[in-house]
Structure 1
Amino acid sequence: MSSVTSLFQPLKVGSITIQNRIQMSALTRNRAPNTVPTELMKDYYVQRARGGAGLIVTEGTLITRQGTEWEYVPGIWSPEQVSGWKKITDAVHTEGTYIYAQLWHLGRVSHPDAPQQKLAGTPVYAPSAIAARGGKFRFLPGEPGYTTPTEIEDPTAIIEQFRQAAENAKAAGFDGVELHGATGYLVTQFLDSGSNKRTDQWGGSVENRARFGLEVLKALKSVFGENVGIKVSPAGGYNDVGMTLEETLETFRYFISQADQLGLSYITLLRYVPHLDIEIDGKLRATQHDILGSYRSSIKNAKVFLTGAVGAEEGTKLVEEGKIDGAAIGLNHVTHPDVANRIRDGKPLDNVPNWQTMMMGPGDETKWHIGYTDYPAAA
């Protein structure tokens, strides 16, 4: 019997039962020209479905036009995008795998000069008019950083955009949706006291700062019922978020426990990983602490996935100890289309990453398969 047998037991997640406890975690791949999913993207997801992933979570998918640092990320607000995603979900289902869409709003880390933001005809919005430090928009002249956003006047309007995105995801054939509540994007910006200085019902107290994310989850559940998950990263760091340890623990224990009471399919905890930290004024930005140990007890109902360099041996041990229900694997799913099959068969994860194309395809669109669909499966 394989030592990783516990990772290959079926798991009920919401209303579906996945074949194993290995989730393909969301990672930006930047291969959607004009934000519309393509045949090449379909090939990428089909490869990973064939590779044995129990649940695929898509790359971050924009709920509305936004000027991201990645010029070619996909969206889910138009009929063309829904049609493109439908081809992908149909193909993934044919391989016997389930797929969630990760719904994404960047908030203050968009740029007003990015083409999609200009097409949107709206400012860069955030909970408060506070700029994130850092950033680099490589495709804009001068590679500018983040700018000061416009304060969101009515957060319920963006909650409605999330609900509509969920409707579109349902039309596109997704089995569920994951709210991107991690790595310094809009949900985190509301949660974080450094980026949220509002004095209305959406800011101030922990309860008020948590309100936006919880209301978004309720909106998503109105469409997908129990098939709604969320990813959170309490350590902060990336995109200039992070609070004191005391405030971090208070904020995220409250938010996670309240989210769990809504009846979610899963909560994915992203623990501290160095490459998601940034240095500001000579100091690392993140609040490093034991993510699983600090928040696992706040989750009573949802399934728990852990991500952040979780290997097969550690994931197996944590599942066997009852500390997690499954492992969410990101980077290794980029470089190995058959992660789960390799783990099951005891084969090494030995493909060498192409760091130049990890998050961004070559300039020539005809070569976007490089570092994307050209990683080999094991013999």
Structure 2
Amino acid sequence: MSQFQTIDSFSPLSFSAADPDSLLSTLFTPLPLSCQLTLRNKFFMAPLTRDRNVPTNVPTDLVVEYYRQRAKGASLIVSEAVLVSRQGTPWPHAPGIWSEEQVVAWKKITDAVHEEGAVMFAQLSHTGRINHAEAPEQIASEKPIYAPSAITARSGSGNFKFRFIPGEPGPSSPTGIPDPRQLVQVYKHAALNAKRAGFDGVEVDAGGGFLIHQFLDNTANRREDKWGGSVENRARFGLEVLKIVKDVFGPGRVGIKLTPAGGYNDIGMTLEDTIETFTYFIAEADKLELTYMTFLRYDEAHDPIIDGKRRAIKHDMIKTYRSLLKDSKFFVVGGYTPFEAAELISSHKVDGVFFGRPWIANPDFPNRVRFGLGMSEIDMKRLYGPRDGRVLGEEELAKGYTDYPLAVLPN
């Protein structure tokens, strides 16, 4: 494959956003995110797992450079998933925010992003049952793998192949957390650390089949106490997490990511249960003075075949949930092209669109859109850092990470 491909492979563009009358020009206008924060444009960078925090789980100077490059054009960057505790960290070189060393490292990143004029939120995540008992951080935590219920996610349901463990097994059997309030406090500690690290806010990861999603889903949550059973009870954990992190950051500085279509990591209720559960959860969350809610649209790539059939519950995020938001911004993510994003924003169907994959190989993504320039291809062999236990040097880690070329701009 050639080093560059045309922008048409991301979007059906036949004109340049440099024309102020073009539809794409809306992406280059400011957006008030909250009373405290205004974004300079509508180029948002979605969380992108890259696994470059080698040799441990502490961001390095290479990671600082990666975010700085993209902050030159982005207005809002949501970090890669930041694990809230050792317990719940399933793979090597994913960053955490439970230690002082990690706080100091993240502060270098937020400082770099702010120097370039962008806003940065930390995505707080806990994988719950999507873990393995032999994962290094899980062992170091000296705790069980916690989940709402002792139900193991079926193999082949996500991207978690534990390559650093012989045989690349699937997730281990979890233990039902005796008192979920313990994990709510873990999120509070992570939010306090994120604030000390200079983040402008946090995004709570409530999707992807991870911990909060597991509490919401009645196929993963079979509890018979106040944390399970009814819709209200299954929603309780996620709402308590949102409340406590909002207490830390204040109103207008907390977002949430949701994936109601499910599928990934063996999550998915019936359509009726899905809509009932998320309708209640979204309406209640919207009362908490959140900044935004982001919805992942259905994508077959996130819908694995398990036991001969697809797991997700396909439905339209905008048509189903948009009207429920009264106070929070409504954002979407999931392979949208710049043209699609501009069209959705201009028609007021959404308030904003996160872009993911284009940022990986194009740190100057907004400029390429503005001038209708070609896009660099992703080096798929170097998409992630080492997941097989190897420890690579910085030069090797930089390949496919911080070494993508900038486009030559017209005079």
Please tell me the TM-score bracket, short chain as reference: over 0.9
Of the three residues 48, 57, 68, the one matched with 2:70 is 48
Contact 2:45 2:359 in 1 (8 A): yes
Of the three residues 63, 69, 91, the one matched with 1:70 is 91
Tell which deviates more after alignment, 361-370 or 262-271. Answer: 361-370
Structure 2 counterpart of 1:365: 393
Instruction: Provide the identity percentage.
Output: 51
Contact 2:88 2:146 in 1 (8 A): no
Structure 2 counterpart of 1:271: 297
Shift in Å, 1:352: 1.2
Shift in Å, 1:303: 0.9
Correspondence 1:375 to 2:404: yes
Contact 1:235 1:289 in 2 (8 A): yes
Correspondence 1:127 to 2:148: yes
Correspondence 1:137 to 2:165: no
Correspondence 1:6 to 2:26: yes
Correspondence 1:114 to 2:139: no
Correspondence 1:313 to 2:335: no
TM-score, normalising length: structure 1: 0.97
Q: Considering only aligned residues, what root-mean-square deviation do their CA atoms show, in Å?
A: 1.2
Shift in Å, 1:67: 5.7
1:208-357 map, 5 Å: 208-226=233-251, 227-348=253-374, 350-357=375-382
Deviations 1:97-120, CA, capped at 9 Å, x for gaps: 110000010000011111110100
Give the number of aligned pairs: 377
1:12-23 map, 5 Å: 12-14=32-34, 15-23=36-44
Q: Which amino acid aligns with 2:384?
A: M
Structure 1 counterpart of 2:117: 96
Shift in Å, 1:361: 4.4
Q: Secondary structure at the match of 1:267?
A: strand
Shift in Å, 1:279: 1.0
Deviations 1:50-87, CA, capped at 9 Å, x for gaps: 1x111000000011004645311000010100000000
Q: Secondary structure at the match of 2:26?
A: helix
Of the three residues 12, 33, 51, the one matched with 1:30 is 51
Shift in Å, 1:300: 1.2
Q: For the residues of structure 1 that align with 2:119 and 2:351, how far apart are their CA atoms? A: 17
Q: Which amino acid aligns with 2:138?
A: Q
Q: Secondary structure at the match of 1:109?
A: coil
Unaligned runs of 5+ in 2: 1-19
Tell which deviates more after alignment, 272-281 or 313-322. Answer: 272-281
Contact 1:67 1:112 in 2 (8 A): no
Unaligned runs of 5+ in 1: none
Q: For the residues of structure 1 that align with 2:386 and 2:363, how far apart are their CA atoms? A: 17
TM-score, normalising length: structure 2: 0.90
Q: Which amino acid aligns with 2:195?
A: K
Contact 1:194 1:243 in 2 (8 A): yes
Structure 1 counterpart of 2:231: 206
Between structure 1 and structure 2, the one with the greater Rg is 2
Q: Which amino acid aligns with 1:244?
A: T
After the TM superposition, which parts of structure 1 deviate over 4 Å for at least 4 consecutive aligned residues? none
Structure 1 counterpart of 2:176: 151
Q: Secondary structure at the match of 1:136?
A: coil
Q: Which amino acid aligns with 1:223?
A: V
